[in-house]
């Protein structure tokens, strides 16, 4: 039976509402493992009274690989002193340990960071490193585990998926996504009410995150399931969108709806839009100022001339933990626990993943895949989910999104405001 | 005892999360009054068995004065068939009846709309009109009630305050404001978590509604009450802000905080900012594109050069009913009920208002003021609440804001999404 002395957990990439639930999942699994190990120890040494079992020290690493290189460790037991603190951490948004955007070089090019990390891990007697992140982070898991294997190091490196973008391959979906879907459905349902109060034609353009893949934008189709006609128009980077087609679509919907609601991915390409986002020649960049939502707003104002408003849902869609989906947090935690089990089984260079069982009832099986297969890949929304007109999502997609956003997570409130978990600086 | 046959309720101005609670307040008060009247009828006619009491018909008017002129009435009993529907309407965001931005002319200049409205009210046997709205709406209440009085009409016109801007005079605060404060505190607490994950200096600029008055922006100081240092910088239209002072302030905070959070009112004047918002000569308006947040973002990027992001909280701050404050909804409803009582007392041209009792415990007394005194006035944040540096809010202000945002209002969920009340089209 694996009996690690110390393990370390780091977080990387953009914040989500579920990433700390994965941290809790690994922590709890380690503590449980410690209990099982102690039990097995007692059984084996039944004759002796001092059936010692070293507690597993669980380190949090600050700021991902950067903090690892700088040896910034926290002993989580110091902070997670009771179940309330653990529960609070589980539903706290953004990376509690801090994040980084650091990319390991190829070993052939520069092995120095690898030697350094190996040194840090060995010096601190760390038996396994868990890295919670997206496709860039899985690149780190793949490269670092491969390096350690070539060095005959027994240290295991396991990845835990995380991203609101839902664009990791080899997993049904990613922790963090379901909560973002719930935020979008809730907020857009309210924006739809807000947009329909005046007795004049109006267009509301909601700009949603997703530079390469349109999963989040596509997910707004779930509102149809509650009988809402809006959003009337949905555009993904995977589809083919042009400004002129967009204006024609809006004009068309205006014939039957006074208030037109559009969900537009920040990553849509607009081949006929010119240079609005290039900003090449302008230090004060009109380009940078103008996201696609504002750009399309201007187009509607100039070409159609009706009331129009762009709403950028910005970082709120990734950090609004008060709208987290319990299904998402539970899965994020389960992914963390599964990652620990993978390490216990002696695996390295793997990422915990989710498979959806076929059938009517939503059920997830936890599996694992090679981190190298996930690294730097992007999973796109299937073309078949986009309507032939390129401006909507087919009904079949609703059943994919809907289970992911179920369950509420009431925030812990103090004085009418939510409180969050904080590691002391 | 007043025994109205029919009353009418209209909503006007920008949406809030509490305006429908006021609608419910008037409706419920009318139904209660009907019960009391019936009771008093029975007592008076104890000898006769057919103690008839006509039910009060409560009309909703679609799209404010515009719908009144067009005679667009809904019989609310048709829609509010049970207590569940009423409870759902109470917490539905935005004006359920629809709104308008219509301004009555002066009677001396054009009395035609007044004659028309009087005709509509008389033809429909309406004894009292309730108008829920902000300072423009109180202008309508004042003018229309004055006209009806000069015509010796017994029809009463009563205003019910509403605005997230909290800028009405003669009332301690306005329904709708408390829920917006709760949204801002919650969302900013999450944005603060989101902004602090990377190990690099960063500036986050939250642009908050309030073109003339900075109440909403000022209210973000409540986070201090939960021990948060952020927002580190707060700028109101009532203060004196310049771009160069802003940049100096940011540089200053960056010395001690890695992640600087700024709350900036959309209405701040920036005398040294040039023409960024004028847009006079540009149909595609860089001006219009660029709110103050984006403008300041560009300034930080160009002049300080660190990571920077502007977040516009947009319509979400006025329509996020899933974060409504129960205190706010209860007060909005009580204002509606009080407005009905004012009409029952024979008053007209008055607005229901709130006075805060002095002392430690938060308590509101419902009063009334002349709608004419509220119309077209703007109540500003007291200068004394702004710190001498002009970039913060003094501690004393916290106790003003804090009680207004208390209490949660869980939305009615179906399939993991909130559902809202809708009058059929």
B279 contacts chain A (CB < 8 A): no
The CA distance from B100 to B109, in Å, is: 22
Residue B280 confidence (pLDDT) above 80: no
Name residue, tokens 């515009």: B66
The CA distance from B218 to B181, in Å, is: 9
Shortest Cα distance, chain A CAs vs residue B60, angstroms: 14
Indicate the residue of B222, B325, B417 with minimum beta-carbon distance to A189.
B417
Q: Is residue A270 within 8 Å of residue A264, measured between CB atoms? A: no
- Give me the sign of the Cα torsion angle A277, A282, A288, A292: negative
Q: Mean pLDDT over residues B267-287, rounded?
A: 60
Shortest Cα distance, chain A CAs vs residue B408, angstroms: 8
Q: Mean pLDDT over residues B280-299, rounded?
A: 64
Which positions in chain B touch A198 (Cβ < 8 Å)?
A: 63, 98-101
Tell me the average pLDDT of chain A.
93
Q: Mean pLDDT over residues A237-254, rounded?
A: 97
Q: Mean pLDDT over residues B33-58, rounded?
A: 72
Instruction: For residue B354, list its beta bridge partners.
Output: B366
Which positions in chain B touch A407 (Cβ < 8 Å)?
A: 416
The CA distance from B42 to B363, in Å, is: 37
The CA distance from B66 to B236, in Å, is: 34
For residue B198, what pLDDT is reported? Answer: 87
Q: Is residue B92 within 8 Å of residue B15, measured between CB atoms? A: no
Q: Mean pLDDT over residues A356-382, rounded?
A: 97
Q: Per the structure block, which two tokens stand in for A292?
A: 């696609």
Q: Per the structure block, which two tokens stand in for A77?
A: 């037991």
For residue B40, what pLDDT is reported? Answer: 78
Of the candidates A144, A252, A244, the residue with the CA atom closest to the CA atom of residue A201: A252
* Rg (alpha carbons) of chain B, rounded to whole number: 24
For residue A59, the surrounding DSSP H or E stretch is: strand A57-61
Interaxial angle between packed helices A135-150 and A112-123, expressed in degrees from 0 to 180 and rounded to the nearest 10: 80
For residue A1, what pLDDT is reported? Answer: 87
Q: Mean pLDDT over residues A296-319, rounded?
A: 96
* Rg (alpha carbons) of chain A, rounded to whole number: 24
For residue A287, what pLDDT is reported? Answer: 39
A193 contacts chain B (CB < 8 A): yes
Q: Which of B187, B194, B301 to probe the A interface (max A CBs under 10 A)?
A: B194
Contact flag B99-A290 (C-beta cutoff 8 Å): no
A325 contacts chain B (CB < 8 A): yes
B399 contacts chain A (CB < 8 A): no
Indicate the residue of B302, B413, B415 with minimum beta-carbon distance to A402.
B415
The CA distance from B351 to B331, in Å, is: 14
Q: What is the DSSP string of A161-198?
A: E--TT---TTSS--TTHHHHHHHHHHHHHHHHHHHTSS
Indicate the residue of A199, A320, A410 with minimum beta-carbon distance to B63.
A199
Distance of CA B45 to the CA centre of its chain: 44
Q: Per the structure block, which two tokens stand in for B294?
A: 């984006």
Contact flag B94-A196 (C-beta cutoff 8 Å): yes
- The residue ranking higher by pLDDT, B216 or A280, is B216
CATH of A6-164+171-176+321-376, one of 3.40.50.720, 3.40.50.300, 3.90.1150.10, 3.40.50.450: 3.40.50.450
Q: How confident is the model at residue B275 (pLDDT cuts 50, 70, 90)?
A: low
Indicate the residue of A286, A298, A321 with minimum beta-carbon distance to B190.
A321
Indicate the residue of A222, A294, A416 with minimum beta-carbon distance to B289.
A294
Q: Per the structure block, which two tokens stand in for A80?
A: 């997670």
A194 contacts chain B (CB < 8 A): yes
Topology agreement, domain B6-176+321-377+407-418 and domain B177-319: yes
Active site (catalytic) residues of A: 165
Which positions in chain A touch B320 (Cβ < 8 Å)?
A: 187, 190
Question: Residues A303-332, buried b or exposed e (16+ Cβ, 10 A)?
Answer: ebebebbbbbbbbbbbbbbbbbbbbbbbbb
For residue B51, what pLDDT is reported? Answer: 44
Q: Which of A93, A311, A417, A425 to probe the B interface (max B CBs under 10 A)?
A: A417
pLDDT (tens digit, 9 = 90+) per residue, A180-205?
Answer: 999 999 999 999 999 999 889 999 99
Contact flag B198-A63 (C-beta cutoff 8 Å): yes
Q: What value of ipTM does the predicted structure carry?
A: 0.95
C-beta atoms surrounding B361 within 10 Å: 7
Q: What is the CATH number of domain B6-176+321-377+407-418?
A: 3.40.50.450
Q: Which of A186, A193, A282, A406 to probe the B interface (max B CBs under 10 A)?
A: A193
Q: Is residue A195 within 8 Å of residue A253, measured between CB atoms? A: no
For residue B356, the surrounding DSSP H or E stretch is: strand B350-356
pLDDT (tens digit, 9 = 90+) per residue, A84-135?
Answer: 999 999 999 999 999 998 899 999 999 999 999 999 999 999 999 999 999 9
The CA distance from B322 to A322, in Å, is: 10
Indicate the residue of B93, B225, B302 with minimum beta-carbon distance to A190.
B93
- Share above pLDDT 90 across residues of chain B, in percent, rounded to a whole number: 88
B165 flagged as catalytic: yes
Which positions in chain A touch B408 (Cβ < 8 Å)?
A: 410, 413
Residues 45-104 of A with CB under 8 A from B: 62-63, 66-67, 92-95, 98-101
Which positions in chain A touch B226 (Cβ < 8 Å)?
A: 414-415, 417, 419
Contact flag B189-A418 (C-beta cutoff 8 Å): yes
For residue A198, what pLDDT is reported? Answer: 87
State yes or no: cis peptide before B231, omega within 30 of 0.
yes
Secondary structure tally for chain B: helices H, strands E? 15, 13
Which positions in chain A touch B223 (Cβ < 8 Å)?
A: 417
Q: Mean pLDDT over residues B57-76, rounded?
A: 97
pLDDT (tens digit, 9 = 90+) per residue, A256-286?
Answer: 999 999 999 999 999 998 766 533 333 333 3
Residue B288 confidence (pLDDT) above 60: no
Indicate the residue of B63, B283, B286 with minimum beta-carbon distance to A286.
B286
Q: Mean pLDDT over residues A366-390, rounded?
A: 97
Name residue, tokens 């390295």: A348
- Share above pLDDT 70 across residues of chain B, in percent, rounded to a whole number: 93
Contact flag A298-B319 (C-beta cutoff 8 Å): no
Contact flag B189-A94 (C-beta cutoff 8 Å): no
The CA distance from A230 to A259, in Å, is: 9
Shortest Cα distance, chain A CAs vs residue B362, angstroms: 14
Report domain extents, chain A. Answer: 6-164+171-176+321-376, 177-319
For residue B39, what pLDDT is reported? Answer: 80
Local structure of A132: helix, strand or coil: strand
According to CATH, the superfamily of the domain at A177-319 is Phosphofructokinase domain (3.40.50.460)
A208 contacts chain B (CB < 8 A): no
For residue A120, what pLDDT is reported? Answer: 98
For residue B424, what pLDDT is reported? Answer: 76
Total number of residues shown for chain B: 425
């Amino acid at each position: 039976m694996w009996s690690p002395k110390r393990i370390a957990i780091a977080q990387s990439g953009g914040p989500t509402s579920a990433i700390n639930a994965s941290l809790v999942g690994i922590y709890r699994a380690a503590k449980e493992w410690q209990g099982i190990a102690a039990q097995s120890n007692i059984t084996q040494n039944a004759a002796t009274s001092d059936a010692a079992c070293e507690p597993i020290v669980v380190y949090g690493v600050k700021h991902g690989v950067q903090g690892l290189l700088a040896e910034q460790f926290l002993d989580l037991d110091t902070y997670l002193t009771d179940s309330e603190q653990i529960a609070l951490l589980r539903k706290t948004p953004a990376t509690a340990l801090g994040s980084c955007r650091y990319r390991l070089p190829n070993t052939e090019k520069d092995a120095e960071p690898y030697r350094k990390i190996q040194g840090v891990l060995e010096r601190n007697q760390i038996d396994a490193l868990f890295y919670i992140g997206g496709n860039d982070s899985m690149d780190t898991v793949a490269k670092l585990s491969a390096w350690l294997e070539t060095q005959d190091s027994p240290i295991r490196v396991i990845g835990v998926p995380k991203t609101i973008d839902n664009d990791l391959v080899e997993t049904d979906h990613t922790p963090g996504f379901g909560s973002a879907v719930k935020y979008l459905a809730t907020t857009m349902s309210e924006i739809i009410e807000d947009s329909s109060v005046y007795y004049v034609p109006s267009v509301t353009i909601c700009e949603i995150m997703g530079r390469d893949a349109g999963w989040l934008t596509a997910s707004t189709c779930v509102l149809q399931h509650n009988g809402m006609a809006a959003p009337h128009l949905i555009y993904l980077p995977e589809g083919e969108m042009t400004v002129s087609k967009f204006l024609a679509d809006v004009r068309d919907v205006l014939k039957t709806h006074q208030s037109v609601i559009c969900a537009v991915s920040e990553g849509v390409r607009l081949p006929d839009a010119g240079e609005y986002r290039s900003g090449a020649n302008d230090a004060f960049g009109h380009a940078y100022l103008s996201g696609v939502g504002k750009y399309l707003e201007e187009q509607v104002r100039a070409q159609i001339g009706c009331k129009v408003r762009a709403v950028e849902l910005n970082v709120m869609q990734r950090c609004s933990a008060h709208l987290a989906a319990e299904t998402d947090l539970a899965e994020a935690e389960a992914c963390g626990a599964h990652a620990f089990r993978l390490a216990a089984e002696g695996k390295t260079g793997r990422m915990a993943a989710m498979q959806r069982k076929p059938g009517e009832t939503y059920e997830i099986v936890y599996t694992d895949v090679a981190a190298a297969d996930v690294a730097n890949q992007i999973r796109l929304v299937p073309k078949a989910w986009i309507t032939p007109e390129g401006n909507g999502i087919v009904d079949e997609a609703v059943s994919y999104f809907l289970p992911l956003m179920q369950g509420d997570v009431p925030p812990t409130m103090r004085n009418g405001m939510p409180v969050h978990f904080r590691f002391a600086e």
